[in-house]
Amino acid sequence: MKKLLIVLILIVPFRLAFSQEEPNSSEYKTLLGNVDHFGAFNGLCFKVGPVHEEVGLMMGGNMAFIFNHRFMLGVAGYGLTTRSDFRGVDFAGLDTSLTVGMGYGGLLLKYNFFPTSPIHFSVPVLVGAGGSTVKYRDAEWYTNFEDNLYKPMTVENTSYLVVEPGLNVELNLTRWARFSIGVSYRYIYGSSLKNLSDAQLSDYAVNANLKLGYF
C-alpha cells in the first residue's frame, strides 16, 4: 500500500506538468496571431492628383490601431479643397461651365513591412463610400425667394463606393512620429452623374502623411 502511494505521489505531479505543456486543440486561433504589441496614431494627410480635368488638392485625416507594429486597422476621410472645372450640360441640356466637388472616407487597412527599420514601406487600402456634387462654375449661388436665403446652385449630385489601394515609403522620425509619402489609386463605383462617369472620377494621387502616436 505504501509503495502504491509513493508511486502515485511521484507520477501524478509529472503527469500534471506534462498535461500543461500539451497544446490545447480547442484553443482559439486568430488572424493576427498572438498580439504582443498594441499602439495607435492620428494622422494628417494631403493628396495631390487629377480630379477629372484638373489637378486638385485633397486634405483629410486618419486614425488607426496598430497590432504587432505591422497591421493597422482604422478609419480615414478626405475632401477636395480646390475647384475642378469642366464643360458639361445643365438641367436643360445646355453646354455650360461646371465644377465638381468630392469627398470620401471609410475603413483603413494597412500593413507595414520592416516597421522597425528607419525607412520602410507599407501597403494601405481604404474601402468606403463618398459623394460628388456638380455645380455651375460662374453662378454658384441663386436666390431662393420662398425663404429669402442664398443656396448653392447644384446641377446634380451622387454617392458611390470607393476602393483606394496604395504604396507608401515611411520614415521613423522619432519614437512617436512618422512621415510617409506614396501613391494611391482611387477607384469609384456606382456614380449616377450624367456629366462624369466612374472612370472620370477615378484617378491616382500622390500622398503625404504625418502621423503622431504610439507605434
- Cα 93 to the chain's mean position, in Å? 37
CA atoms within 13 A on the CB side of 177: 5
In angstroms, the Cα distances linking 24 to 8, 12, 18, 31 are 25, 20, 12, 18
Quick check: pTM over 0.85? no
Instruction: Confirm whether 6 is domain-assigned.
Output: no
Instruction: Confirm whether 41 is domain-assigned.
Output: yes
Comparing CA positions, the residue from 104, 159, 111 lying closest to residue 127 is 104
Among 5-19, 66-80, 84-98, 125-139, which stretch is predicted with the lowest mean pLDDT?
5-19
Instruction: Confirm whether 10 is domain-assigned.
Output: no
Tens digit of pLDDT for each residue in 61-109? 999 999 998 999 999 999 999 989 999 998 778 888 899 999 999 999 9
Q: How confident is the model at residue 138 (pLDDT cuts 50, 70, 90)?
A: confident
The CATH number covering residue 65 comes to: 2.40.160.20
Instruction: Confirm whether 3 is domain-assigned.
Output: no
Counted domains in the chain: 1
Instruction: Confirm whether 97 is domain-assigned.
Output: no
Segments forming the whole domain that contains residue 74: 36-86+102-129+158-214
Q: How confident is the model at residue 140 (pLDDT cuts 50, 70, 90)?
A: very low
Contact 69, 38 (CB under 8 A): no
Instruction: Confirm whether 150 is domain-assigned.
Output: no
Among 15-24, 142-151, 187-196, 198-207, which stretch is predicted with the lowest mean pLDDT?
15-24
